[in-house]
Amino acid sequence: HLIAQTHSKQNRSALPLCPEQPPHLVGKMNIKPSITLQEVTNEESLRNLTYGGRYAPPDCQARERTAIIIPYRDRKEHLDIIVRHLHTVLQRQQLEYGIYVVEMALPTQFNRGLLANAGVRTARGISNYTCYVIHDVDSLMTDDRNLYRCGSQPIHFMTGSTKYKDDGIPYYGFHGGIVGFTPEQYKKVNGFSNLYFGWGSEDDDLGIRVQTSGMIYVRPKEEIGKYVALSHARDVGNQESPNSFGLVRNVPVRQMEDGVETIRFKRFALEYQQLYTWLLIGVKEDE
Ligand code: UD2
């Protein structure tokens, strides 16, 4: 198997670079919050995958190698839909990519930032990615010109969501949902904080990290960055993060001691499934 992989890598480096503008994009897609598994499934895109939900364009060298990292627990219906949607769209975008579903093991409270960091640590050990996209499980892009490539600044891919008033964003300075960092940028901000257990504010904390590291978030054009949110209730066991108010006030003080490079986690499972790579993550207690 490894030999086959090496060969295909060698062959790929002889391929021409994929065009700057992927030629098969369709632009605006008709996505509804009630989209069904059947509607979202494109069998051909699923046949193109290799183990762990990975893909590389067959006839050109991708301009980006993107790891999609989905912090996750107990939303199987959404997960089934989003991974199929992503496979269809990301192949049209001519990316080389892998999807990583990073699941929190019970009974630990959900911690989106810690899961993102654990996903990055794992993905970077598996392949030489050039872009990490941290992605909500319930948000579907509605325009495939919203390319999941990274840039010279971190990217906030969402200019609006059906989750919010007028399909916009909830407040100025909002950076939730979907963000993209090169490995260098992610290292510079030291990733997410690992301290936000429960719902909320880990995205604001990351926004402050971006600022204190001398960078700014950029967004795609307004009409391209719209998302459809699959509906859900606040999850049991994901109460508002109790310490978040205090934490967001002292980000610069702990930024370098609390993040992707200092995370302590247990990886209970790593499985190369057909549509994605699945990780089961727990928090490492002090010995
Ligand atoms: C907002 C942000 C999200 C995050 C969150 C606060 C948007 C579009 N998104 O989402 O990025 O900052 O606030 O933490 O504004 N999840 C599970 N299972 C759970 C709980 C969460 O899988 O039990 C994952 C899942 O990927 C979900 C994400 O965490 O999409 C965010 O959680 P949410 O959807 O409950 O929170 P929401 O919609 O307010």
At 220 the pLDDT is 98
pLDDT in tens, 166-207: 999 999 899 999 999 999 999 999 999 999 999 989 999 999
Return the residue whose CA atom lies nearest to atom 4 of ligand 1.
Answer: 176
Contacts of 231 (CB under 8 A, 6+ apart): 33
> Could you tell me the distance, in angstroms and rounded to a whole number, from the CA of residue 110 to the centre of ligand 1?
10
Within 159-216, strands assigned E span: 160-161, 178-181
Instruction: Give the model's confidence band at 285: pLDDT under 50 very low, under 70 low, under 90 confident, else very high.
Output: confident
Cα-based distances in Å from 31 to 22, 110, 173: 21, 28, 26
Beta carbon of 129 within 6 Å of any ligand 1 atom:
no
Stretch 256-276: mean pLDDT, rounded? 97
Higher pLDDT, 13 or 139: 139
Averaged pLDDT score across all residues of the chain: 93
Atom of ligand 1 nearest to the CA of 75: 22
At 175 the pLDDT is 97
Return the residue whose CA atom lies nearest to atom 9 of ligand 1.
Answer: 177
Q: What is the ipTM of this complex?
A: 0.98
How many C-beta atoms surround the C-beta of residue 242 within 10 A?
Answer: 13
Instruction: Give the model's confidence band at 6: pLDDT under 50 very low, under 70 low, under 90 confident, else very high.
Output: very low
* Cis upstream peptide for 58 (omega within 30°): no
The two three-digit tokens of residue 53, written as one number? 């939900």
Beta carbon of 110 within 6 Å of any ligand 1 atom:
yes
At 184 the pLDDT is 98
